Amino acid sequence: MKNLHLLRMTGGAAVYTAAIVFDKVLHAEILSIAFYIGAYLILGGDVVFKALRNLFKGQVFDENFLMSIATVGAFLLGETTEAVGVMLFYQIGEHFQDMAVEKSKKSITSLMDIRPDYANLLSGDGFEKVSPEQVKIGDLIIVKPGEKIPLDGIVKEGSSMIDTSALTGESVPKNVQVKDAVLSGCVNKNGLLTIEVTKTFGESTVSKIIDLVENSANKKAKTENFITKFARYYTPVVVILAVLLACFAPLFLGADWKVWIQRALVFLVISCPCALVLSIPMGFFAGIGKAAGKGILIKGGNFLEAFNNIDTIVFDKTGTLTKGVFKVTEIKCENGFSENELLEIAANAEAFSNHPIGQSVKNEYLQRNSERDSEVDKNNLRDYTEIAGLGVSVLMDGKIILAGNKGLMNKYGISFFESQEAGTKVYVAKDNVFAGCIVISDEIKKDSAGLMQALKKAGVRKTVMLTGDDPKIAEEVGRVLELDEVRGGLLPHEKVGIVEELNAQKPKKGKLAFAGDGINDAPVLAMADVGVAMGALGSDAAIEAADIVLMTDEPSKLLDTMNIARYTNKIVWQNIVFALSIKVIFLGLGAFGAASMWEAVFADVGVSLLAVLNAMRILYNKKL
Q: Domain spanning 301-321+445-546 has what CATH number?
A: 3.40.50.1000
CA distance 186 to 206: 9
In DSSP notation, 153-213 reads: EEEEE--EEEE-HHHH---S-EEE-TT-EE-TT-EE-SS-EEEEE-S-GGGSHHHHHHHHH
First CA to last CA distance, the chain: 34
Phi, psi of 305 (to 5 degrees): -65, -40
Output DSSP code: residue 488: -
Query: What mean pLDDT comes out for the span 7-20?
Result: 90
In one letter, which amino acid is 313?
Answer: I
Would you state the pLDDT for residue 278? 67
Question: For 425-451, how does the pLDDT look when each residue is reduced to its tens digit (9 = 90+)?
Answer: 899 999 899 999 998 887 888 888 889
CA distance 102 to 606: 18
Query: What mean pLDDT comes out for the span 286-301?
Result: 84
Of 83-87, 217-221, 620-624, the one with minimum mean pLDDT is 217-221
Would you state the pLDDT for residue 511? 93
- pLDDT exceeds cutoff 80 at 589: yes
Q: Which residue did the predictor score with more confidence, 534 or 278?
A: 534
pLDDT bin (cut points 50, 70, 90) of residue 536 is low
- pLDDT exceeds cutoff 80 at 275: no
Would you state the pLDDT for residue 88? 84
Would you state the pLDDT for residue 138? 92
**What's the chain's average pLDDT?**
82
| 64, 297, 340, 402, 420 from 437: Cα distances, Å | 78, 44, 12, 12, 11
CA distance 183 to 167: 9
Query: Which fold is adopted by the domain 115-214?
Result: 2.70.150
Of 502-516, 535-549, 555-569, 583-597, the one with minimum mean pLDDT is 535-549
Quick check: is 163 catalytic? no
Where are the domains positioned within the chain?
2-108+218-284+567-620, 115-214, 301-321+445-546, 324-444
Q: Domain spanning 324-444 has what CATH number?
A: 3.40.1110.10
In one letter, which amino acid is 593?
Answer: G
- pLDDT exceeds cutoff 60 at 171: no
Question: For 175-193, how does the pLDDT look when each residue is reduced to its tens digit (9 = 90+)?
Answer: 888 888 888 888 888 889 9
What proportion of the chain, given as a percentage, has pLDDT over 90?
Answer: 22
pLDDT bin (cut points 50, 70, 90) of residue 462 is very high
Would you state the pLDDT for residue 225? 65
Of 262-276, 453-467, 520-534, the one with minimum mean pLDDT is 262-276
Would you state the pLDDT for residue 514? 93
Question: For 220-257, how does the pLDDT look when each residue is reduced to its tens digit (9 = 90+)?
Answer: 566 666 666 676 777 788 888 888 988 988 888 888 88
Q: How many CA atoms lie within 13 A of 173 on its CB side?
A: 13
Catalytic residue among 62, 152, 316, 553: 316
Instruction: List, in sequence order, every beta strand (DSSP E) within 366-457.
Output: 381-387, 391-396, 399-404, 424-430, 433-444
